Structure 1
Amino acid sequence: MARILVIEDDPVVARVTELVLQRAGHRPVLARDFLSAKSALAEPADAVILDINLPGGNGLELLRHLREELGSRTAVLILSALKQEDVIVRGLKLGANDFLTKPFSPQELILRLERCL
């Protein structure tokens, strides 16, 4: 059972993601804005599911913080409604392990997450 930090501001997407992860046997922990996510990153997680557009900041900045300042090798799966190639490429260059766009298939989310783990 992996501890998965889900950083998502949309309450519906956050709840669906939480349920999908629980059904797959994982322990999701939710953060809904930039500041609570940054604080939650101090606790060890097996993986992070990261939205880009967050209240109070940008998910890509959190990814940079995780990789550069914390030196973390934690698996990161970006889950975003943004589909522009430059955003996807930037996320991957900053160290994301994978990028999935919304709306998403629960099965695909679990498969991609487990591949990252």
Structure 2
Amino acid sequence: MRPVLVVEDDVTVAKLLKVALTRAGYEVFIAGDYASAREALGKDWAAVVLDINLPGGSGLDLLRYLRRELKRNTPVLVLSGLKQERSVAEAQALGAQEYLTKPFSPGELVKRLERYVAAR
């Protein structure tokens, strides 16, 4: 199975993502805060679904850590309630492949994720 890290502090959203991604053939791991997500990023993931506002820190800092310190090109889909152009631009500048806003379609998220995982 292809392992995906979901970094999401909202339990309902995390469960929804787990169901949708599991049905699509992924093995899903959930990190609900900054510290556990940072530790989990050290593993090899097929992709990461990343929220921005997290207890203990920012998802954008996690993305920066993944790209600059770990030097990994793991596909990252940002999933956030933030719709400001600044947040979108910063995520893209840090190397996020996609930026989806909440509310979102789980099917659309899976479709977009597949595009990047298949290309690896």
- Give the TM-score band, short-chain normalised: over 0.9
Superposition RMSD in Å: 0.6
Unaligned runs of 5+ in 2: none
**Alignment identity in percent?**
53
| Map 1:28-107 → 2, pairs under 5 A | 28-107=28-107
- Give TM-score scaled by structure 2 length: 0.95
- Give TM-score scaled by structure 1 length: 0.98
1:110 lines up with 2:80 in the alignment: no
Q: Which runs of 4+ in 1 moved over 4 A?
A: none
Distance 2:77 2:106 in 1: 14
Report how far residue 115 of structure 1 moved: 1.2
Unaligned runs of 5+ in 1: none
Look up the SS of the partner of 2:99 in the other structure.
Answer: strand
Opposite residue 69 of structure 1, the aligned amino acid is E
Distance 1:30 1:107 in 2: 19
